[in-house]
Chain A
Amino acid sequence: MTLYRVLLRLYPRAFRERFGAEMLALFAQTSAAAPRTLRGRLDLWRSTLADLVPSAARERLPARRSLSMSQTATDFRQAWRAIARAPFLAALVVLLMALSIGSTTAVFSIVNAVLLQPFPFARPDRLVIVWEKRSPENMRNTVAGHEFPAWQARAQSFERLAAIAFDREYNLTGAGDPLKLTNVRTTWEFFPLMGVPAQIGRGYVADEDRPGHGQVAVISDRLWRARFAADSSIVGRSIELSGIPFTVVGVMPPDFRFPAGEGGADPDVWTPIAEPIQNYRGRHYLSIVGRLKDGVTIAQAQAEMNAVAAGIRKDEPRLNNGHDVNVQPLHGEIVAGVREALLVLFGGVALVLLIGCCNVANLLLARASSRQQEIAVRMALGAGRLRLARQLLAEGGALALLGGAGGVLLAAWLIAFARASAPGDVPRLQSAQLDVTVLVFAAGVSVLTALVFGLVPLAQVARVDVSDRLKHGSKGIARPLRQPLRRALVIAEVALTVAVATSAGLLLQSFGKLMRVDPGFRSDGVLAADVSLPTRYRAVPAQRAFFDEAIARASALPGVSSAAATNMVPQGAGRSGIAVAIEGRPALPPEQEIPVSFRVVSERYFSTLGIPLTAGREFTPQDARVAVPLIRWFPQQPIPAGFDEPQPAPVAVINERMARRFWPGESPLGRRFTVLSSPLITVIGVVKDSRNHALADEPWPEFYLTHTQEPQARMTLLLRAPGGLTSLPAPLRSAIWSIDRDVPVAGVRTLAEIVDGNLALFRAIVWLMGAFAFVALALMALGVYAVVSYTAAQRTYEIGVRLALGAQRGDIRRLVLVNGAGLALLGIALGLGGAYTLARLSSSMLYQIEPGDPLTYALLSALVLAITVAATWPPARRAQRVDPLTVLRTE
């Protein structure tokens, strides 16, 4: 009653005042007469709305005296009536359209935000990353100190080149709890090159990038809000980074988050490199971004850089032997990891949209067949074709309008859901918004489907003599246009479903296989915490002393069975690749170098992570050296104090892969190698391989050094606590802060969370593709059911005759089943090709399974066939129960 009173507001005020009370009274009467069941209530509201909406529209339409307007109103009123007569079918059409429009738009909006949208940089298509290239496998090396100035001097293709270094870590000190910052050092060209002005203040300038002048900083919007209360007087003030004062010169806008630091973290602080870069000869520590001059293509820049690289090779034969250059668009480099994933998702969603459209078309065709009689009657009574077309279009339009509205709501909800639940390392996901272009596109596709197929009854009637149609009524005679079309739609649906389902199947199997991979270390029951030391621990022995003490205190915490530390947590971000030179063997040319990764670990690292030792021994406290560090990264680095004193030899533990690779068939124990400018390092032990980079990646050859020989300013503490980890973080922080209150403890999480976090994107894709496959299968089943039921119903007369002539009931059932299975087989055959194409697209995401895995294809084809047969079963049963007497009598 109240609802109806509200709905009355749809009428113009004057009308409402004049008739409102009486209308309410009439509604009350009708409502009282309607049965108090759910069905009764639904019927009541259906008829009420069918009455209310068109009449309100009519009262509202201002120029209803004009012929065309009153016709439009009539069109919509009749459309509404037609819809209300078959509400289930209409609801199904609307639901299908909403699903297709909504999911396509949502996924595309996300793809668009992450992949296609230009970055918030000035003319981002002109930006490139310039890498050093060693070999086809080793395409992306950082650039050495002597190379960058040479590039700047020689290359003409670029407006500017800027260098970025990630080599210095700062903690924000002197402002609350110490905070570990993601710091990026750049040359001054960086800000003018990116072309993004600071929101407050400015970027640093050339003068501030000179050696000895670099005490200025640009901070991120996030840091500014989090630690400085978004106070604009921050510009010009001094902040303390790891105890060193820096003057803040600018605050970047919130969407400027480049370049991402370790693990894709948004940068907090940009500081000038401000050092004599050209003196750091052979030290590969710079990433180079460039802005191409107008009119210069990437290929031209690449060609020029090849020449530049050749020139430097000639000048520096010793340092640059085999070094080439690799110019890549910045955009592609940033989104590299998620590109395939999003393309696969988009492929999946596009197929689902098509399946949805096939179904909408099919339902409308089914509806059309029941409308033929009505339309024929109207034409007989003198309705013009144009008039009928208008009405059918109005019906299609009304359905499309409702479906579109549902689609928009669904899309908005899905995007909000994705933003809230996705893993944090998908770049720019948070800027995803409902994309109007796609919405228009998806809505356009499905609205067009609705309109075109809505007009089918008219086309059919046009081909058939009206009086003939009237005479024959519902009798099953030849339907020249509709049948092949409907069958083709179902075949297309089956084919598309096979493609989506196999793709999902392959991904699911990949995920299953990945989950069963043994990482080589035991991640359960281990807590990780990043500890990075402030700059006053610059003295290398002080770093070692701090971590020795930290590990000792962490081991003593209640519940902790063992504690260790490493400079790179397993399966954390990043990977170190380095070339080793084996004692007594000639150095390999650069293109044949075998990349070896390495980690610095503490004593008990292997036992804490459950990595078994297979030969030799682990590190012991007796390995501690006086002269630290071990590795000099470039020849100019001074030799550490005490190098000539008697002390333990440099030692390393290697993994089995490294042992096999460098010392096949012999014991590696006691063998020696060097890294960069290091003394000879002796192999003292061999451990099992562990997948330290990613679960899906085969481990590289790897060696481990001890931090007592190669101290680190930043390590991750690892605590094994069999009794549970939840109560550990607070005491761990206190333990660290009891040594030094200024040391930040960041990223406290379990090792299992780290491993699992790397799988989050893959898991999300598998889930989404699985959901797409499920929806596709459901839509397909619906489509097959509808067509086969309809065909069977059309053949009732024929079936009756057959039965009367002595056909067995089993034959009849077979007839209908074969009809369905035939469609399915044809669709599957067509679908396998599409499936393979989609699988190839996702091949980089597949793990230990071929894109053409025959078992998957066979199984999913069988599943699709089984579902079609199941969908054919009910109509087959109905056909089987046809009573020939009844059929023949009524016809």
Chain B
Amino acid sequence: MTSAIVHILLSLAETDRHGLGIAADVKTFTAGRVTLGPGTLYGTIKRLLDDELIEDLGAPLAEDDDPRRRYYRITAKGRRALEAEMQGLTSVLGVARRRLKTS
């Protein structure tokens, strides 16, 4: 699971978002450290759709939204994959903390 996948899934775990929304959210919750460029963002979205980790909601939800925008929602499969990844990361983090004796 690449870091872009993790970030997008994390963003969608909160609520349904469109592409621009995901980019803005990721930027916010990583305090600006991670910027998803258009290519990475939509390339990853495409891959997540193919793997059925997220689903395409299609048309805008609200009236004032730009009709070009499409909303995405995390699937149950996606949520499970994200949780599995987080568990793995947590154990790596534990090892890293012990071995590096930092933080």
* A residues with CB within 8 A of B: 11, 15, 18-19, 21-27, 29-30, 47-48, 50-52, 54-56, 58-59, 380-381, 467, 470
A26 touches B38 (CB 8 A): yes
The 10 A-B residue pairs with the shortest CB-CB distance, nearest first, are: A51-B37, A55-B39, A23-B38, A19-B42, A55-B43, A52-B39, A26-B38, A51-B39, A22-B19, A21-B68
A22 touches B46 (CB 8 A): no
Q: List 17 A-B contacts (CB under 8 A).
A: A19-B46, A22-B19, A22-B70, A23-B39, A24-B38, A26-B37, A26-B38, A26-B41, A27-B38, A51-B36, A52-B37, A54-B39, A55-B39, A55-B40, A55-B43, A59-B43, A59-B46
* Complex CA–CA separation, A56 to B46 (angstroms): 12
* Complex CA–CA separation, A48 to B99 (angstroms): 36
Partner of B38, one of A51, A54, A59, A470: A51
CB-nearest residue of chain B to A65: B50
Q: Is B20 an interface residue (CB 8 A)?
A: yes
* Complex CA–CA separation, A110 to B77 (angstroms): 65
Given contacts A47-B35, A51-B37, contact A26 B23 (CB under 8 A): yes
A26 touches B100 (CB 8 A): no
* Complex CA–CA separation, A29 to B18 (angstroms): 14
A52 / chain B contacts, CB cutoff of 8 Å: 37-39
CB-nearest residue of chain B to A53: B39
The A interface is mostly helix, strand or loop, or mixed, namely helix
Partner of A19, one of B36, B37, B45, B96: B45
Q: Chain A's nearest CB lies how many Å from the CB of B40?
A: 5
* B residues with CB within 8 A of A: 18-20, 23, 35-43, 45-46, 66, 68-70, 92, 96, 99-100
B92 / chain A contacts, CB cutoff of 8 Å: 381
* Complex CA–CA separation, A30 to B37 (angstroms): 9
* Complex CA–CA separation, A376 to B30 (angstroms): 25
* Complex CA–CA separation, A50 to B39 (angstroms): 9
CB-nearest residue of chain A to B101: A471
* Complex CA–CA separation, A467 to B96 (angstroms): 11
A26 / chain B contacts, CB cutoff of 8 Å: 19-20, 23, 37-38, 41
A381 / chain B contacts, CB cutoff of 8 Å: 92
A18 touches B46 (CB 8 A): yes
Q: Chain A's nearest CB lies how many Å from the CB of B48?
A: 13
* Complex CA–CA separation, A11 to B38 (angstroms): 12
Partner of A23, one of B42, B70, B96, B100: B42
B68 / chain A contacts, CB cutoff of 8 Å: 21-22, 25
A58 / chain B contacts, CB cutoff of 8 Å: 43
Partner of B40, one of A11, A27, A51: A51
CB-nearest residue of chain B to A23: B38
* Complex CA–CA separation, A41 to B65 (angstroms): 30
B46 / chain A contacts, CB cutoff of 8 Å: 15, 18-19, 59
With A50-B37, A51-B40, A470-B100 given, can you name 9 additional A-B contacts, CB distance below 8 Å? A11-B39, A22-B19, A22-B20, A26-B19, A26-B38, A47-B37, A51-B39, A55-B39, A380-B99
* Complex CA–CA separation, A524 to B49 (angstroms): 83
* Complex CA–CA separation, A27 to B42 (angstroms): 12
Q: Chain A's nearest CB lies how many Å from the CB of B4?
A: 9
CB-nearest residue of chain B to A27: B38
* Complex CA–CA separation, A29 to B69 (angstroms): 14
A50 / chain B contacts, CB cutoff of 8 Å: 37
* Complex CA–CA separation, A58 to B66 (angstroms): 29
CB-nearest residue of chain A to B18: A22
A25 / chain B contacts, CB cutoff of 8 Å: 20, 66, 68
B69 touches A22 (CB 8 A): yes
CB-nearest residue of chain B to A18: B46
Q: Chain B's nearest CB lies how many Å from the CB of A175?
A: 68
* Complex CA–CA separation, A50 to B69 (angstroms): 25
* Complex CA–CA separation, A56 to B70 (angstroms): 21
A23 / chain B contacts, CB cutoff of 8 Å: 38-39, 41-42
CB-nearest residue of chain B to A51: B37
B100 / chain A contacts, CB cutoff of 8 Å: 470
CB-nearest residue of chain A to B2: A74
A380 / chain B contacts, CB cutoff of 8 Å: 96, 99
A29 touches B42 (CB 8 A): no
CB-nearest residue of chain B to A26: B38
A48 / chain B contacts, CB cutoff of 8 Å: 37
B40 / chain A contacts, CB cutoff of 8 Å: 51, 55
* Complex CA–CA separation, A23 to B68 (angstroms): 11
* Complex CA–CA separation, A133 to B19 (angstroms): 88
Q: Chain A's nearest CB lies how many Å from the CB of B50?
A: 10
* Complex CA–CA separation, A18 to B58 (angstroms): 11
Q: Chain A's nearest CB lies how many Å from the CB of B86?
A: 16
CB-nearest residue of chain B to A381: B92
Q: Chain A's nearest CB lies how many Å from the CB of B38?
A: 4
Q: Chain A's nearest CB lies how many Å from the CB of B23?
A: 6
A47 / chain B contacts, CB cutoff of 8 Å: 35, 37
B18 / chain A contacts, CB cutoff of 8 Å: 22
CB-nearest residue of chain B to A21: B68
B39 / chain A contacts, CB cutoff of 8 Å: 11, 23, 51-52, 54-56
